[in-house]
Amino acid sequence: MLRYVYRRLASLLVTLFVASLVVFVVIEVVPGDPASYMLGMNAQPDTVAALRSELGLDQSKPARYFHWVTGMLQGDFGQSYTYRTPVADMVSDRLWISLPLALFALLLSIVIAFPAGIWAASRRGGLADTTVMGFTQLGIAIPNFWFAMLLVLFFAIKMRWFSAGGFAGWDEGFFAALKSLTLPAVALALPQAAILTRVMRSSLLDVLGEDFMRTARAKGLSQRQALLRHALRNALIPVLTIIGLQFSFLIAGAIIIENVFFLPGLGRLIFQSIAQRDLIVVESVVMLLVFAVVMVTFLVDLAYAWVDPRLRHRA
């Protein structure tokens, strides 16, 4: 087990190093100078030069890369060019929106998908199965931003139960903050729930056909007991993979939903920073996302080993 963990950890570190190089190079070659963006059309050349040196942009690229990476290793992500505040603070502010939003959406999608998937699998071919499958088709087909607009139209404009968007802030109270995340979370969760339901169902059906399931039934377990006690755990591997992918997607990929609900999350931060050429923010946030995705994959790998003892021993 330990060797398995070490090997996963080593590949994690290599991925991070390569990613840092790629991110830096790709972002630095994009044309556009942050200082002249900030100072606009009437700025004099000497003013732009003064700002460039203030921001440290007049140093060579390798020097800046080295500075950036060593800074990150010490937990210092540098200072945003445009906001003039530490990147770490900005990211943590945004993370306190993106992370709860992703968790909220993931939780919703699991709460919907697990029972629905199990129900559909246990009644294969029946009315329940067809109904659930019909809804999942719909859930996958509906674009989440469009669904989000419908939610706004009904719950915010017509019923006035929710704001059309924005984020109250955690210091306004837990429920106020959660309320601002509810509609976005629902919009994000629905398509994910549809995908997860289908994976859950098909994975369960695969397992149900295995020999050990027949044995379990022969032991005298009811269909239901056999399903919950033996099939579910074995069916979880593909489901965990999808959950891991979905979580990474939900942290980084909520950008469209963040725009619809004007939530100041990580996705919008990247989007804004690219437009403003706030390179240091883009680089650091992308690295953070890479780190998050790699970590999630790592945790999912560990979870595989937990549900599947064979993996532990093979390594």
Of 64-72, 213-221, 235-243, 258-266, the segment contacting other proteins by CB under 8 A is: 258-266
Tell me whether residue 167 is exposed, middle or buried, using C-beta atoms within 10 angstroms of its C-beta: 0 to 12, 13 to 18, 19 or more: buried
**Based on CB atoms, which residue is closest to other proteins, 97 or 235?**
97
Q: Which of 307, 310, 177 is nearest to 243 (CA)?
A: 307
Looking at beta carbons only, is 148 or 193 nearer to other proteins? Answer: 148
Residue 91 sits in the site that holds other proteins (CB under 8 A): no
Segment near other proteins (CB under 8 A); pick from 30-38, 62-70, 134-142, 291-299:
30-38
Site for other proteins (CB under 8 A): which residue of 1, 28, 47, 124? 47
Exposure class string for 289-304: b at 16+ Cβ within 10 A, else e: bbbbbbebbbebbebb
Closest-CA residue to 147 (of 261, 265, 262, 269): 261
Q: Taking CA 121 as the corner, what is the angle to CA 117 and CA 127, rounded to the nearest 5 degrees?
A: 95
Does the protein bind other proteins through residue 56 (CB under 8 A)? no
Helical residues (DSSP H) of the chain, grouped into ranges: 2-29, 34-39, 45-55, 61-73, 87-122, 127-141, 144-151, 174-208, 211-218, 223-226, 232-252, 255-260, 266-276, 279-307, 309-314
125 binds other proteins (CB under 8 A): no
DSSP 8-state code for residue 155: I
Look up residue 150 and give its two tokens: 């419908």
Least distance CB 252 / other proteins (angstroms): 16
Residues 145-164 that bind other proteins (CB under 8 A): 149, 152-153, 156-157, 160, 163-164
- The residue among 198, 225, 203, 42 whose CA lies nearest residue 134 is 198
Q: Binding of other proteins at residue 269 (CB under 8 A)?
A: yes
| Cβ-based nearer residue to other proteins, 94 or 198 | 94
Per rule CB under 8 A, is residue 34 in the interface with other proteins?
yes
- Listed ranges 111-119, 133-141, 224-232, 271-279: which one lies at the site for other proteins (CB under 8 A): 271-279
Q: Least Å distance between CB 82 and other proteins? A: 4
Interface with other proteins (CB under 8 A): 31-34, 36-44, 46-47, 50-51, 54, 82-85, 90, 93-94, 149, 152-153, 156-157, 160, 163-167, 169, 175, 259-265, 268-269, 272, 274-277
